[in-house]
Structure 1
Amino acid sequence: MHPATVPPPQPPPPATETLENITELLHHLLPSTLSITSFTSRWQVLRTKLAALKSLLSEISDSPHWSENPLLPPLLPAVLSTLRRIETLRHHCSDASFSRGKLLMQSDLDMAAGWLSNQINDLELLLRSGVLHQSTAIVLSRPNSSSSKEELTFFVKDLFTRIQIGGLEFKRKALDSLIQLLIEDEKSAIVVAREGTVSRLISLLDPNAHDCVRELAVHAVSLLVSGGDLPRKCVFEEGGLGPLLRIIECGSAAMKEKAAMAVEFITADLDNAWAISAYGGVPILIELCKSGSLIAQSHAVGAIRNVSTVEDIRVSLAEEGAVPVIMELLVSGGALAQGKAANCVSILASSSEYFRNLLLQENGLQRLLHIFHECPVADTLEHILGAIYSLSTSGASYRILSGSSMFIMQIAELIKHGNIRLQHISASLLAKLSITDSNKSAISGCMGSLVKLMESVKPDGLQEVAAKALVSLLSVKSNRKELMRDEKSLMRLVQMLDPKNDLVSKKFPVAVVAAAVAGGSQSCRKKFVEAGALGQLQRLAEMDVVGAKKALQRLSGNRLTSIFTRTWRE
């Protein structure tokens, strides 16, 4: 005997045939349910859903390309199967001799209603997205920079339709396309936030989602939140922060990096930062700082830096032991993590005496000084120097910094060659510290730069600290002589004294001139008088500018006073 031949599997019927079968079954099923007298409330619910389904299918069949859409054919057989199940239940409920249990029948009817609801939702989504009105048998090509807003919007809607109701392969391909779109077009994030169903994207972060889909979803979310305030707000309001923190807690290494990146971007918005505590995120981020990859550590400490501006969260950071972890990253972390850790230390150091003490207990000043002497990156240097400035309020730190010739020389160099932010912090330290005369003489070369900084309108406070630093350096006789030899700086100071020059508060150049002539040097007085300072100070004294009368007295305190004054009046 020959073995029986297994017939080849039959291909599924075409979508048009399936839709015809559904339509025909609905045509008979809807009126036949009206005569059912048992479980009337449940059948009323089913009738409402069947009517909604009939209306949706009518709209779909009117769409010109419905049969070409790859998402619809897989849905129709499931709808037909549900309708056949409902037809069976209708027959049982109409048969008086049917003896099935009441509770079991109620359960079957409820399940059928649930299936029908889900299928109606999928069909409605497909119809309302507009994708049935265009041929999408092949995955749409990605819009480019020359594409219209309408093309981009349609593409995004099609992607999210595939993400929501497509099978695994549809979801994977749609997420791939979404990721590429977000990478290639920065502006697309706004369109995705507005037109896409972001809540559905967030749902794919759930641990129950397929691994490959979940990994693509977290990548897409991380790119989306990097696209601006609106996408960040959208992801946060759709509940994205919690699932992202769970991924950091138990996801793969690659997923942790993307999730940490997303959390850093979300917490950059202060309106979102508070929620880290609500989701129990502080210990999760600290643990990632300790055990994550270099990239993950960088994003984790960046997120901690963002939330450290919130007072309640700072308390949690202290309780969870964040300070030693951040200090360790500051010393041994990667370049990106080091910069963010420095920024975080600066924020914490400036927040309260409590945190300054915690940092000092971790040898914070010594570690910061070590990095400061070797750090080549300007942004990181700014944060390091800011943290040092904050720690300088401690008596012990103040004495260490004041006595460190190496540190004094370095901040003097930054005043001459650093960017404006580094110049500001360096001048603030120079004005604040108690520096020896020998060190003041050694850094006299930065006085010309300090005079220039006195003319800077921004940042706020720069003029004041530059003037204070300069006054401090001018307490040394040799520095006063050197300033007098600097013709450009001398003219700048005199121009700043001019009452018509409203860019500089007059009390600052007045204080510097008073300090420069405080030693009673005839040559210093002569230089200022020849440059026109006497007349300017006379005007300022009449205007009651702070310190002007004292500076005028110092400048004109000799027997030539009456001659100079008369000359100016004439």
Structure 2
Amino acid sequence: MTPPPSPPPPAAADALGQILHALLPALLLAAGSVKALHSRWRALHGTLLALQSSLAAAPVYAAAHPLFADLVGSLLPALRSLHALSARCLDAALPDGRLRLQSDLDIAASSLSLLLHDLSLLLRSGLLFVDSSASSPNAIVLQVPAPASSRADKSLFIRDAFARLQIGGLDLKLKALGSLLELLGNIVSAEAAHIIASDGDVAALLRLLDASSHSALRDRAAAAVAHLATACVASRKAVFDEGGLGPLLRLLDSGSSPATRERAVVAIEAITADVGSAWAVLAYGGVPILINACRPGSGSPVVQALAVAALKNVASIEDVRSALVEEGGLPVLVDLLASSISDTQKSAALCIWSLASLGDHETQYQIVQAGALPPLLQALHTASGLDLHDSVLRAIHALIVVPAAARTLCSSPLFFAQLTDFMCHGGSILLQQMAADIVAELAPAVSDDTKRCMAPCIGILLKMMEAAKPATVQESAGHGLLALVTLKSNRKELIRDEKSVTRLLHMLDPRNDEIDKKYPVSIVLALAMGGENGTRRRLADAGVCQHLQKLAEAGVPGAKKALQRISGNRLKSLLSGGWNK
């Protein structure tokens, strides 16, 4: 059963009556009649009018609310003190001197402005207009709504908690923060965060992250902000729009407790994952802060993992890349490649990939000089997850334009064995495509033995060429295969495989318009130019010449030359056989 409404506390009701009917009218009259410090009293007159209007706007049962009662209790002595000051200003002798009176008046005006601010905040929250029979306003903090509660109940709770965060003392603020965290934990996080973003005061929460806040408040506020930054787009945007990235970066850099730093970097990583927000890291001077958080011994492995993930998020921005190199970030990223945490390795590799693929040759050279290649190769050989393989191979691929890196890779049979494994058993078409690209670019400089060991890739590369989308896969596979069939034994491997020949024939068919003909034609031409009559005879017997004839008539580059090479030698072979008879 709902308890009956609680009557206003007699002390609060009496104080409110005294303020409205005695003190404020007297002070407004004095503010208009004093001669001393007239400009200050004129400003005070406006504050007093606003206070009178705000108090009059409160409902009759507002005094039952503990926050309103506390405010009224603080207003009464402040107005009495101001009334005493008005008497001193009306005295022509100015007791205690003009300067002392001016100082006392400034202090009283500042105190009154703060109380008016709190009262305005409480009125805007709408809490005073909720019938006390519908809630428990006398509670220190309202009870956390159950998951099945209505949105109105949750909104009321959130507005109440945020009001207490800004008006109450330390104990009340801690309890309000604790209740907000409980709400975020009890209810579907995205739902609660969305209501907080729309009905709460996120800016007030962010102010608690300031170094001047009590450490316990700062810790709980950081936890709440981390929830908001990771729960949903609306709450994450609210944190960013209210300027939350700056305080979070300062919190990460300030040497706060390990738990607080972890919560701060959780929020930073989530905010920087939004492309539209990533630029702000540079504006807030966050690049060196994130680099320092990645250094060995600077924090927990969790902080390192999230800090390098945030760097990975922003590394696509040109100015960030420049700052990352200038601030000494390359050696730090190289160290993280050897981390025992897979996510840390992945983020470090992707960050290096961004720096290498989007940067200039000087940046690529600096990455190699920093020693990135050995740990990348080690990670490639020891990692088990496809995501990590993909990230590491991206970074390696971006570095092969550096001659020193290319030489190192070409002299590593183990690396090419790994590429073969990726293409044959990688499971990811993008991973296979990157492996094919690397083979195409490096194969001319590797030994014949290495190419021979990659023979199992030939059938896979032909199969990849059949992929209609994306078109880049056909191109990568075609180039990779061309690099391998420069070796005689690999050409024989292709021709011996019935499935591979059938695939090649199918791709050459002019009726198959999903395949760009330049890639299969280039493979046939390479086979035809290889010099083995058996290879050309096998192609002719398979029916390649009929397709090449139509493609040559259609003007496909290389088709005519391949046709002449195959059919010409085929004719010679037939004539030679007839003459011998």
Give the TM-score band, short-chain normalised: 0.7 to 0.9
Distance change >3 Å, CA 559–CA 287, structure 1 → 2: closer
Q: Partner residue of 2:465?
A: 454
Q: Partner residue of 2:492?
A: 481
Contact 2:222 2:264 in 1 (8 A): yes
2:551 corresponds to 1:540: yes
Q: Percent identical across equivalent pairs?
A: 43
Q: Partner residue of 2:209?
A: 205
The structure 2 residue matched to 1:359, chosen from 358, 361, 367, is 367
Distance change >3 Å, CA 141–CA 476, structure 1 → 2: farther
Distance change >3 Å, CA 460–CA 206, structure 1 → 2: farther
2:403 corresponds to 1:406: no
2:58 corresponds to 1:54: no
> Take 1:459 and 1:154, find their aligned partners in 2: how far apart are those partners?
52
Alpha-carbon offset, residue 410 of structure 1: 0.8
Contact 2:164 2:172 in 1 (8 A): yes
Q: Partner residue of 2:520?
A: 509
> What is the SS of the residue equivalent to 1:106?
helix
> Take 1:54 and 1:277, find their aligned partners in 2: how far apart are those partners?
47
Distance change >3 Å, CA 427–CA 169, structure 1 → 2: same
The structure 2 residue matched to 1:346, chosen from 349, 353, 359, is 353
Distance change >3 Å, CA 524–CA 241, structure 1 → 2: same
Q: Partner residue of 1:176?
A: 178
> Take 1:190 and 1:245, find their aligned partners in 2: how far apart are those partners?
23
Q: Partner residue of 2:401?
A: 393
> What is the SS of the residue equivalent to 2:568?
coil
Q: Partner residue of 1:337?
A: 344
Contact 2:24 2:48 in 1 (8 A): no
Alpha-carbon offset, residue 166 of structure 1: 2.3
> Take 1:89 and 1:257, find their aligned partners in 2: how far apart are those partners?
51
The structure 2 residue matched to 1:556, chosen from 567, 574, 579, is 567
2:318 corresponds to 1:315: no
> Take 2:495 and 2:154, find their aligned partners in 1: how far apart are those partners?
66
Distance change >3 Å, CA 17–CA 536, structure 1 → 2: farther
Q: Partner residue of 1:239?
A: 243
Distance change >3 Å, CA 209–CA 520, structure 1 → 2: same
Alpha-carbon offset, residue 145 of structure 1: 5.8
2:220 corresponds to 1:216: yes
The structure 2 residue matched to 1:69, chosen from 62, 65, 73, is 65
Q: Partner residue of 2:22?
A: 25
- 420-429 vs 142-151, which moves further: 142-151
Contact 1:498 1:536 in 2 (8 A): yes
Contact 2:189 2:231 in 1 (8 A): no
2:385 corresponds to 1:377: yes
Distance change >3 Å, CA 362–CA 99, structure 1 → 2: closer
Q: Partner residue of 1:16?
A: 13
> Take 2:159 and 2:262, find their aligned partners in 1: how far apart are those partners?
28
Q: How high is the TM-score relative to the length of structure 1?
A: 0.88
> Take 1:58 and 1:286, find their aligned partners in 2: how far apart are those partners?
55
> What is the SS of the residue equivalent to 1:556?
helix
Q: Partner residue of 1:8?
A: none
2:166 corresponds to 1:164: yes
> Take 1:206 and 1:168, find their aligned partners in 2: how far apart are those partners?
15
> Take 2:554 and 2:347, find their aligned partners in 1: how far apart are those partners?
48
2:117 corresponds to 1:121: yes
Q: Partner residue of 2:41?
A: 43
> What is the SS of the residue equivalent to 1:71?
helix
- 284-293 vs 30-39, which moves further: 30-39
2:264 corresponds to 1:256: no
Instruction: Give the aligned length.
Output: 549
Distance change >3 Å, CA 58–CA 500, structure 1 → 2: farther
Distance change >3 Å, CA 368–CA 136, structure 1 → 2: same
Contact 1:26 1:50 in 2 (8 A): no
Alpha-carbon offset, residue 530 of structure 1: 5.7
Alpha-carbon offset, residue 431 of structure 1: 1.1
Contact 2:272 2:314 in 1 (8 A): yes
- 202-211 vs 397-406, which moves further: 397-406
Q: Deviations over 1:101-155 (max 9, x none)?
A: 2232233333222222221221111111122233242444545665555444444
Q: Partner residue of 1:7?
A: none
Distance change >3 Å, CA 331–CA 533, structure 1 → 2: same
Q: Partner residue of 2:81?
A: 85
Q: Partner residue of 1:4?
A: none
Structure 2: gaps (5+ residues):
1-8, 575-581
> Take 2:569 and 2:163, find their aligned partners in 1: how far apart are those partners?
89
Q: Partner residue of 1:107?
A: 103
Alpha-carbon offset, residue 236 of structure 1: 3.4
Cα RMSD of the aligned pairs, angstroms, is 2.8
Contact 1:221 1:262 in 2 (8 A): yes
Contact 1:30 1:51 in 2 (8 A): no
Q: Partner residue of 1:428?
A: 437
Structure 1: gaps (5+ residues):
1-11, 564-570
Alpha-carbon offset, residue 205 of structure 1: 0.9
> Take 1:68 and 1:448, find their aligned partners in 2: how far apart are those partners?
81
> Take 2:259 and 2:280, find their aligned partners in 1: how far apart are those partners?
24
Alpha-carbon offset, residue 278 of structure 1: 4.2
Distance change >3 Å, CA 200–CA 245, structure 1 → 2: same
